[in-house]
Structure formats: C-alpha cells, structure tokens
Amino acid sequence: MEGCEECLAEGTQWVHLRMCQSCGHIGCCDNSTGKHATQHHRESGHPIARSAEPGEDWSWCYVDEEVFRLSRG
C-alpha cells in the first residue's frame, strides 16, 4: 500500500502525499497532522518533493520555497 510511511507506522491520517525526488520517500503534506514530507526534508536535507497526488505534476523546492514543474519531453 502506498502512503506516508510515518503515518502508516503511527496509525494517523494524512491529507495529501508528497514524494521526495532524491530518494523516493513518501510523506504527508503540511495540511496533514504529521507534516512528514517536511520532516523528511529537515532530517535528510533532500531539497525537492513532488506531489504524489493523481493528476498533479508540480514539485516543491524547500530551499527556494517555490513551486515548479519539471518540463516533460
């Protein structure tokens, strides 16, 4: 099952999922109780998380605090 690893471990709910572009870690967004995507960034220093929601193709850079889209093709 795909989901926030920490939330699954703790048994809490998440709102949206973000995927770390550096290592593929799945964490929940800042609207979720755990904010585990941000926590992962703080612990790992990995700078970019992209949306793991269906139909969403944006990424978030924690360093620049900016949304961007990767160009495709």
36 binds Zn ion (CB under 5 A): yes
Between 43 and 56, CB nearer to Zn ion: 43
Return d(Cα 57, Cα 7) in angstroms, integer: 23
18 backbone dihedrals φ, ψ, rounded to 5°: -125, 145
Kindly tell me which residue out of 1, 9, 23, 63 binds Zn ion, with binding defined by CB under 5 A: 23
Q: Which of residues 2-21 bind Zn ion (CB under 5 A)?
A: 4, 6-7, 14, 20
Integer angstrom CA distances of residue 21 from 13, 24, 31, 49: 23, 6, 20, 5
Select from 38-46, 52-60, 62-70 the region that touches Zn ion (CB under 5 A): 38-46
